[in-house]
């Protein structure tokens, strides 16, 4: 079965906005394992997301992947990002399962805290939460995979684990606000 890249790209979620050397080494350690980004940048359906007061947005290309970031202006260790990837003909269940398996395979420190299905503005979607510890940095991540015409729109919320409870409600509000626009 095809190896999809999204688990690796999720790591960039927490480290991309922080230019500190240790965080960059943590990201590079995992991102160096990416064989190709050819399945990424597949989505063209416009969408909207809630942006909390005092947070900034940015579109940025990193290692060949187009990211849309939402982050507090004053805390580079917290962010939400959206990337897209072709589902390569897989069902949402199979695509989600493959992503979870890749996370565990590629990131030895990953601990899956939960996963399941949810509805995001009427679209059946998959979610999972996990923690990782690259280079000794404790990171909590939650992702939601929203499918549209064979493309997964992956919204990932990331923070240092010590801040996870503080941002949980904000992250939940942002995730639930995702909607496609015509």
CATH number at residue 17: 3.40.1000.10
Q: Which residues contact 84 (CB under 8 A, 6 or more apart)?
A: 40, 41, 42, 43, 66, 151, 152, 153, 154
The residue that leads in pLDDT, 26 or 43, is: 43
Q: Is 72 contained in some domain?
A: yes
Name the DSSP class of 40: B
Rg (CA), the chain: 15
pLDDT for 17: 45
CA distance 10 to 92: 18
Give, in order, the Cα–Cα distances in Å from 78 to each of 37, 70, 124.
24, 9, 26
Mean pLDDT of the chain: 85
pLDDT for 136: 84
pLDDT for 31: 58
Instruction: Give residue 6's pLDDT band: very low, low, confident or very high (50, 70, 90).
Output: very low
Instruction: Give residue 21's pLDDT band: very low, low, confident or very high (50, 70, 90).
Output: low
Least confident of 2-6, 34-38, 163-167: 2-6
Coil/strand/helix, residue 57: strand
Domains held by the chain: number: 1
Which tens digits make up the pLDDT trace of 151-182? 999 999 999 999 999 999 999 999 999 999 98
Euclidean distance between the first and final Cα of the chain, in Å? 33
pLDDT for 34: 54
The residue that leads in pLDDT, 76 or 44, is: 44
pLDDT for 75: 87
Q: Which domain range does residue 145 map to?
A: 6-180
| Helix 6-15 × helix 21-31 angle, to 10° | 180
Q: Is 93 contained in some domain?
A: yes
Contact in structure between 129 and 115 (CB atoms under 8 Å): yes
Query: Phi and psi dihedrals of 5, rounded to 5?
Result: -95, -10
Question: Left (φ > 0), alpha (ψ -120 to 50) or beta: where does 66 sit?
Answer: beta
Q: Is 101 contained in some domain?
A: yes
Q: Is 102 contained in some domain?
A: yes
Which tens digits make up the pLDDT trace of 85-118? 999 999 999 999 999 988 888 888 899 999 999 9
Q: Supply 131's token pair.
A: 């923690």
Q: Is 140 contained in some domain?
A: yes
Q: Is 1 contained in some domain?
A: no
């Amino acid at each position: 079965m095809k190896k999809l890249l999204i688990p690796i790209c999720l790591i960039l979620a927490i480290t991309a906005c922080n230019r500190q050397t240790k965080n960059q080494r943590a990201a590079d350690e995992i991102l160096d394992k990416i064989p190709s980004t050819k399945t990424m940048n597949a989505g063209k359906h416009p969408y909207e997301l809630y942006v909390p007061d005092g947070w900034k947005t940015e579109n940025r290309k990193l290692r060949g992947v187009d990211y849309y970031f939402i982050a507090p202006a004053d805390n580079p260790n917290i962010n939400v990002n959206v990337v897209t990837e072709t589902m390569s003909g897989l069902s949402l269940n199979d695509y989600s399962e493959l992503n979870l398996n890749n996370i565990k395979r590629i990131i030895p420190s990953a601990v899956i805290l939960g996963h399941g299905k949810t509805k995001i503005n009427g679209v059946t979607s998959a979610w999972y939460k996990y923690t990782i510890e690259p280079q000794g940095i404790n990171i909590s991540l939650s992702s939601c995979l929203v499918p549209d015409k064979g493309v997964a729109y992956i919204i990932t919320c990331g923070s240092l684990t010590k801040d996870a409870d503080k941002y949980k409600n904000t992250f939940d509000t942002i995730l639930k606000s995702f909607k496609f626009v015509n």
